[in-house]
Amino acid sequence: MENQKQNGSDEIDLGLLFAKIANGISNFGRSVLKLLAIIKNVPLQNKAIFSSLMAISLVTISVYNFSSKKYYVQKVVVSNSSYTTKVLQEIFMNVNDLAKQEDTVGISQLLTIPVSVAKSLKKIEANPFVTETDLIEQERLKDQLKTLGAKGEQKELVTAITERLKLESGALVEIVIHSYDPTVLKVLEKALLDFFLNSEYVKKRYDIARQNLVSKKERLFQESLKLDSLKKAVFENYSAMAKERKLGSNNVILADKSISYPLDLYNQDLAFYDEILKINSQLALRTDFEVVSSFTPSNKPANKSLTRFIKLILIGLSVSISIGYLLVGLKSFNNYLNKFE
């Protein structure tokens, strides 16, 4: 009997628990619906406030859009082995500070451009240039990294992923030039390239790298000459063996020293030659800072597009509506406090 009473009380307790949970869910649903109703009714009950704010927002955005000075954009993709994107951004911050000054002599002297061109410069930006292939590879490496978990295995893969994800310090950088005059964008592009190529920071590293390449080329050339002499001796030795019709191993005897696989000499000589060709390319192509892709400047102002104007309107309306709810909330809270006075 006692066990039956206990089972009955347990069932009653569970029933009450589920009933309370159902009531809680129901009350929460009513609260959400009530909140949505309030959000809906507030603008309708305060049409004057919301209409005024939205009208002010539309007028302000329209005046700003049509009265703001037109500017044009030129994008340049640069191959860069001297600066990280972060350093370029810091440099351009200083350039932009000079461009904002009324006296443009400073920016004119810095970039070696006429004062008239300096006056048209608005700002310069630097962004890491990431191709679609880079992004796909980045996601693939991230997935592989997740599979490794917390294990300390496959260190080479982890290192490759870490280096690949450091796209900000990559060799490709997108430089964005903003100018009030579209006709000087190409002039500014060339001035920027000359500014970096002629800087002491880049020139010093370029001179050191060039000197090292020249020294390496000379060393390879000398080694190649030695191989030529050795190949000549090997050839003469083989010719003598062929004439004397000697039989034996495939080894070549030179001063009681055997050299196995004579073709290795020719392969090594070709390897030296390929290395010299690479060095010649590096000496001919200055890859420390050069333009990879330069886009044709557009004659359409970057800040006067219809898409941008619509975005500004949507942002302005969102802000005005948010301010409207805030004002109504403050008004209601003030009325609530007045009841206690």
> 162: pLDDT confidence band, cut at 50, 70 and 90?
low
Q: For 107-138, how does the pLDDT look when each residue is reduced to its tens digit (9 = 90+)? A: 888 888 898 888 889 999 988 877 667 667 76
* pLDDT, tens only, 191-227: 888 888 888 888 888 888 888 989 998 998 888 888 8
Does residue 71 or residue 20 have the better pLDDT? Answer: 71
Residue 2, token pair as written in the block: 């006692």
- How high is the pLDDT of residue 55? 93
Q: How confident is the model at residue 255 (pLDDT cuts 50, 70, 90)?
A: very low
Query: Is residue 327 predicted with pLDDT exceeding 70?
Result: yes
DSSP-H helix ranges across the chain: 2-45, 47-67, 85-100, 105-111, 115-120, 132-148, 155-164, 185-197, 200-244, 263-284, 306-338
| Nearest to 190, CA basis, from 174, 206, 177 | 177
Backbone angles phi, psi at 261, to 5 degrees: 50, 75
